[in-house]
Amino acid sequence: MSADFIQLLVGGILLGGIYGLAAFGLSITFGVLNILNLAHGEFLMLGSLLSYGIFVGLGINPFIAAILVMPVFMLLGLGFYLLLLKPIMDKPPHQLLVASILVTLGASLFIEDVTAFFWERPVTGISYSLPPMELAGVVISSTRLLILFFIFALACGMQLYLKKTYVGKSIRAIVQGREGAKVVGIPISRVSALAFSIGMALAASAGAFYVTLFTVTPVMGIPLTIKYLCVVVLGGLGSIVGSVFGGLILGVAETLTAYYCGAEWSPTIAFILLILILIIKPEGLFGAKK
């Protein structure tokens, strides 16, 4: 395997990790609230911008920034939830669907437009790097490795949280069965708010990593959310672990496509993968067949 290919692979895995992290948050949100948040990509974008601002303004390295943005976005997420989602949560399923699409799509457009107004130029990657490492004769950027490690740690941390803590278990309970969770006395509304905030925080921290490697523009939100959709469907609706794997696959596919076919084709690969998995295995790689 050529060194170039390995670099591509690493890059792809990295991108995939970022996608997976954000999609992880989206999965949790969807599992708990039964609402697909079309504004999810916007939060990654905002997280990127905030991260960048912290880096440029305060000189803090991106890894710390990734951690710092999380509480900020948990609060923002909470606000978003209380203002826009809580009022519609109790509607019957079809109305909930329509209302949630309207509200989250509307929020997306609003965030995008306002951000574009105040932040016109695209934000290029943060130039922060550690000395590169050599592994088996291949030069790998240690920044990238570190980011990968961080994402992995974050994802593991989330999994542990979900498995071990009371709150985490409540979240899983609601995902598995809303009525049952209610009967057992879990405060659905509060846990929903928390789950949503966590989802946002994850998206934002994914954004912090994103901006160290790629360019961020205000209009990337919606295409990004569509990519998350592809990731979630790839991995399997309802499987949180699946979305991480879906993310990895997409990341690698996108990076390879960009290199071999040209950058203008890479946005389409997500959609092509989506169509393919819908045709071949609609329940996703890790999803359960009915």
Partner 1 sequence: MNRRRKKLFLLVVLLLCAILAALPWLGFSYGVVWIFLLAVYFTLALSYDIVGGYMGYMNLGHSTFFGLGAYTTAILLNQGFNLFAALFAALLLAAVFAAVVSYPLFRLRGAYFALATFGLISLIEVLTVNLRDLTGGSGGISTPPGNHMVPSYYLVLAVAGGTMVLSHFVARSKFGLALFSIREDEEVAKAFGVPTTLYKGLALVISSAPASLVGGIYVWNMTYISPNSVFGLEIALSPIIMAMLGGTGIMIGPLVGAVFITLVQEFLWTKVPYFHLAMYGTVLVLIGLFMPGGIVRTRWVKPVVQWLGLGEAVDYFKNGDVERIP
Residues that bind partner 1 (CB under 8 A): 35-36, 38, 84, 87-88, 91, 94-95, 97-103, 105-114, 117, 222-223, 225-226, 229-230, 232-233, 237, 264-265, 267-268, 270-272, 274-275, 278-279, 282
Of 66 and 111, the one with the shorter C-beta distance to partner 1 is 111
**Residue 242 CB, nearest distance to partner 1 (Å)?**
14
**Cα dihedral 175→281→234→149 (10° resolution):** 90
The nearer residue to partner 1, 64 or 226, going by C-beta atoms, is 226
Residue number, 75 or 114, with CB nearest to partner 1: 114
**Which residue number, 82 or 184, has a Cβ lying nearer to partner 1?**
82
Specify the DSSP element, H or E, that contains 134.
Answer: strand 133-135
- Measured at the alpha carbon of residue 239, what is the angle toward residues 237 and 242, in degrees to the nearest 5? 100
Element (H, E) at 138: strand 138-140
Closest by CA position to 16, among listed 280, 286, 272, 269: 269
Question: Token pair for residue 258?
Answer: 């960009």
Minimum separation from the CB atom of position 155 to partner 1 (A):
23
Name the residue nearer to partner 1 (CB basis): 67 or 97.
97
Query: Following DSSP, what letter does each residue of 25-84 receive, concatenated?
Result: HHHHHHHHHS---TTHHHHHHHHHHHHHHHHHHH---HHHHHHHHHHHHHHHHHHHIIII
How long is the chain? 290
The residue assigned the tokens 């803090």 is 60
Q: Is the Cβ of residue 107 or residue 198 nearer to partner 1 in the bound state?
A: 107
Minimal distance, residue 251 CB to partner 1, in Å: 17
Q: Which two tokens stand for residue 153?
A: 């740690």
CB atoms within 10 A of CB 12: 22
Q: How far is the CB of 146 from partner 1 (least distance, A)?
A: 32
Name which of 94 and 121 has its Cβ closer to partner 1: 94
Smallest gap from Cβ 117 to partner 1, in A, equals 6
| Min dist. Cβ of residue 101 to partner 1 (A) | 5
For residue 88, the minimal CB distance to partner 1 (Å) is 7
DSSP 244: H
Contact 16, 260 (CB under 8 A): no
**CA gap 212, 203 in Å, rounded:** 15
